[in-house]
Amino acid sequence: MFRKLILLCLFLLVVCTPQSELPSTESIQPQTIETTYPETLNKIYVNGEEMLYNLDNNSTVEDIYNSGRNVVYNKNYGSYFILCTVEKPYAEGETTNARRVIGEYILKLKTMYWCESMVENKYDAHWQIKLKYNYNLHAEYSPEQDKVIAYNVTLNDEPLAVNWYPYSDFYSDNLFNDCIYLSIEDFCKLFQFNYTIDYDKKSIYFTSL
C-alpha cells in the first residue's frame, strides 16, 4: 500500500509539472570520455634523479634532450617513444667513443661493464645489468638512405624483440635521421626498468626492477 502511494505521488508530480519546466531531449547531450596524452614528455627521471643527458659532456645527446622530441606520443601506435642515437662517424672510417643515449643510462646506473664502438656507420655496444643481464646491440646507419636500417638487440645471447622506427617515420625535417624511436615499453627491456608517467608534469619516471 505504501509503495502504491509513492508511485501515485510521483505520477501526479510529473503530470502537474508545466511542460516548459521539463528538460528538452534535444538539450541532453551524451557525455564522452576521451583520454588525451601530452604530445611530448619533457622530463625524465631514473630512480628518483633527473636524467639530463650530460654525464659525458656530449653535445649530441644534450641537443636531443632539449629538442622537444626526446619522448613523444604517437597516436598511430598508441604509445610513447624515446629517441635513441645511432650516430654516424664524424669522418669516413673514424672510430669514436662518444657516448650515445644508451651510454648515458649506463653511466647513470653505474653498471659494472660498458663498451661501445662505431666504425663505418656500424654501431655496436655491450653492457651488463645486475651482473646477470648481458646485452649486445648492433645498429647500422645508411648514408644513401639517410636513416637507420638495423637495430638488433640480444639479451644473454638470445634475440630481444624491440619495436623501433627510423626518425623519418615520425618527422620529415631530417634533424635526427641518424636516430631511431624505440617504444617506451621496449626501452625498459634494455635496462630492467619499470616506468610511470605523470601527465600533468609531462614527466616519465624509470625505476630499476
- Set of cell numbers at residue 163: 619495436
CA-based torsion, 165, 127, 54, 37: positive or negative: positive
CA–CA gap between residue 82 and residue 105 (Å, rounded): 13
pLDDT for the residue numbered 57: 62
Q: What is the pTM of this model?
A: 0.74
pLDDT for the residue numbered 204: 96
CA-based torsion, 163, 165, 167, 172: positive or negative: negative
What are the sequence ranges of the domains in the chain?
A: 40-208
- Set of cell numbers at residue 118: 662505431
Q: Are 151 and 169 in contact (CB under 8 A)?
A: no
Residue 112 vs residues 24, 79, 132, 160: alpha-carbon distances, Å: 70, 31, 11, 21
115: enclosing H helix or E strand: strand 114-119
Facing residues of 135 across strands?
127, 155
pLDDT for the residue numbered 85: 79
Mean pLDDT for back-to-back runs of 10 residues, the chain (209 residues)? 48 48 40 65 93 68 76 92 70 45 82 71 85 91 91 96 93 87 95 96 95
Residue 138 vs residues 60, 80, 116: alpha-carbon distances, Å: 20, 23, 10
